[in-house]
Amino acid sequence: MLELVNNVKFLHMDSIDCSLLDPYRIEVLGPYVFPMFQNLTHIKLQYVNYNDDWSEVVELLKYCPNLQVIVIDQQPNFYAYVSELSEEEPENWPYTPSFPECILLHLEECYLNDYRGTKGEFQFARHVMQNGRSLKKMTTCSGDFINQQGRLELIEKLSSCTRHSATCELYFELQNRFGSCE
């Protein structure tokens, strides 16, 4: 089905079965033929994070080599709730050697909505900031499910990350009462 829209510049995916791109699934069952989105510059993705390693998002972005803006709206996962804030320092992220080209070369804006500060979220955000040569804006948006002290810890942890782009600015937003970022 995605083959029909592989020439678009803007794509809003209400949901996608990112498990088709899971490296473990590919290793066992073989690759799913996913179209290359050469012209895609802006994607909005609703993502259910089942395992908190963000491997599916990393794999999806490999098919979007010219992406400039990504908005990830995380959807609640009622089957495997992850902790609000990862206390331990994350180990090396396994996707570093094969990080998507779009993040390295073209990504200008990254929005992570419903940010909780889990290990996978933090590693993804950190790697985007550390490797994004063109990154101008990294925005995280959290809801009131995180108390004020927790938000301060999230801000401090993300603010301590190095940024490859000298023009990258980090923004923190709160979800409004309707659940969207302001």
Q: Domain coordinates of the chain in residue numbers?
A: 2-174
**Of the ranges 21-25, 53-57, 69-73, 175-179, the best mean pLDDT one:** 69-73
Provide the mean pLDDT of the chain.
79
**Contact between residue 57 and residue 93 where contact means Cβ atoms under 8 Å apart:** no
Mean predicted confidence (pLDDT) in 146-154: 85
Per-residue pLDDT at 84: 44
Per-residue pLDDT at 80: 42
62-119 pLDDT tens trace: 889 999 999 998 876 544 444 444 445 545 656 656 778 899 999 999 999 988 888 8
- Under the banding of pLDDT at 50, 70 and 90, the label for residue 39 is very high
Q: Is the pLDDT of residue 24 over 90?
A: no
Per-residue pLDDT at 81: 41
Q: Is the pLDDT of residue 55 over 90?
A: no
The token pair at 106 is 């073209």
Q: Which residue has the higher pLDDT, 138 or 62?
A: 138
The residues near 182 (Cβ < 8 Å, ≥ 6 apart) are 173, 174, 175, 176
Task: Return the exposure string of 100-131: e unless at least 16 CB atoms fall within 10 Å of the residue's CB, then b.
Answer: bebbbebbbbbbbbbbbbbbbbbbbbbbbbbb
Cα–chain center distance at 112:
6
Distance CA(84)–CA(93), nearest Å, equals 19
User: What is the SS3 assignment for 120-182?
Assistant: HHHHHHHHHHHHCCCCCEEEEEECCCCCHHHHHHHHHHHHCCCCCCCCCEEEEEEECCCCCEC
pTM: 0.81
Q: Is the pLDDT of residue 173 over 80?
A: yes
Distance CA(33)–CA(39), nearest Å, equals 18
Q: What percent of the chain has pLDDT over 70?
A: 68
Q: What percent of the chain has pLDDT over 90?
A: 35
DSSP for 83-106? Answer: PSS--SPP---TTGGG--HHHHHT
